[in-house]
Amino acid sequence: MAIGDSLSVVHATKYYKKFRAVDDVSLTVHHGEFLTILGPSGSGKTTLLKLIAGFEQVSSGSILLNDQDITVKKAYEREVGMLFQNYALFPHMTVFDNIAYPLRLRKIAKADINHMVLNILKLVHLEQYDARYPKQLSGGQQQRVALARAIVFNPPLLLLDEPLGALDKNLRQQMQLEIKQIQQKVGITTISVTHDQEEALTMSDRICVMNHGRIEQIDTPENLYKRPENRFVAEFIGEINLIHGELRGVDKGCAKVRILGDLIAEVEAGEEVREKKNQSWLMAVRPENLQIAKEPSQFQNTVSVEVSETIYVGEAIKAKVKTKAGQEILVKIPAYMSDSISCGKEVLLGWNSKDATLLADEVIA
């Protein structure tokens, strides 16, 4: 554990009978960082969060919080703040008493409790609501009270489990920004679990993508989107075209790949590509990185395609196009360019080497 790290999970594995729900997971969260665990249903997100919270015990491995080994500590001894989907405020207590509850439990002096609760009420913009009962609040307000209660005792770590899952879309987006702002103001290290990728991309400093109990990639939202390390991450986050290719060579950070029959495409590539020779490759390119070219010289790579379907999605047009080799490709272009991509039309698609990445496909035996 390096200085500046708040939480470390070290080779954690969790078995339920013979089933490995979390499989040799290691990760580190830095002080003040917002890390989201993202993955499909059943990938082990909640189990990992339960291991960190102390609701479940690891089968092997360890968990460290601020340099202390907390692996065998019970949940209540870990002093972690928690916010879950069903915020479970005490219905018979006022907002003030709900937030004061964890402080009274810790036998903090009354004057300090008043001060701490009023401070946190200001932070969540609910100063005027201290005497209300939960049922007299909106869903978003209740969630802010629950957040205040989770952080009022200055825990070293805040855990969020699908915290906004019960809210409608508009309110959810508003609360994402609010929670993120509050988290940054307080500077509390936070781990959140969600399967909403938009939420993860909006709120997180880094995202840990899980699949089958394992970590596929931990990275910043931008890197996960622009530089996915493998096929699972590329397909899980956003939309992407994956086109099979044969590696012809790598020179000065640029790979030459044969795709779609006889097209040699240039793709930005690092040394790792040169080292992994015995692979088949996928050229990955996001739909919005493909553009309509007027002439081949405009882009490093171009291919002629026929438009087979267009879908209007508000700010953009999504189009399915087909190459002469029969490869379907998804394209997304700004709506004001809709004239250039009508159904049945032949167009030239262009993209630059920096807008595509190479991913290893299955190993050739």
Which spans of this chain sit near ligand ATP (rule: CB under 6 A)?
Answer: 16, 19, 21, 39, 41-47, 195
* DSSP 8-class letter at 334: E
To ligand ATP, the closest distance from the beta carbon of 102 in angstroms equals: 26
H or E element at residue 280: strand 279-285
Output 196 or 219, the one with its CB closest to ligand ATP: 196
Output 59 or 141, the one with its CB closest to ligand ATP: 59
Output 42 or 253, the one with its CB closest to ligand ATP: 42
Determine the Cα–Cα distance for residues 23 and 47; give it in Å rounded to an integer: 11
To ligand ATP, the closest distance from the beta carbon of 17 in angstroms equals: 7
* Antiparallel, parallel or unpaired: β 206-211 and 189-194: unpaired
Determine the Cα–Cα distance for residues 84 and 364; give it in Å rounded to an integer: 45
Output 209 or 329, the one with its CB closest to ligand ATP: 209
Output 40 or 187, the one with its CB closest to ligand ATP: 40
Best CA proximity match to 24, nearest among 49, 60, 53, 55: 60
Output 45 or 172, the one with its CB closest to ligand ATP: 45
Best CA proximity match to 241, nearest among 315, 314, 312, 301: 301
* DSSP 8-class letter at 85: S
Determine the Cα–Cα distance for residues 158 and 189; give it in Å rounded to an integer: 6
To ligand ATP, the closest distance from the beta carbon of 162 in angstroms equals: 8
Residues shown for the chain: 365
To ligand ATP, the closest distance from the beta carbon of 345 in angstroms equals: 42
Determine the Cα–Cα distance for residues 173 and 301; give it in Å rounded to an integer: 38
Task: Dig out the tokens for 54 from the structure.
Answer: 């102390």
* DSSP 8-class letter at 364: P
To ligand ATP, the closest distance from the beta carbon of 21 in angstroms equals: 3
To ligand ATP, the closest distance from the beta carbon of 52 in angstroms equals: 12
To ligand ATP, the closest distance from the beta carbon of 237 in angstroms equals: 16
Which residue(s) pair with 259 in the sheet? 245, 263
CB-count burial class (<10 Å; 0-12, 13-18, 19+) for 203: buried
CB-count burial class (<10 Å; 0-12, 13-18, 19+) for 187: exposed
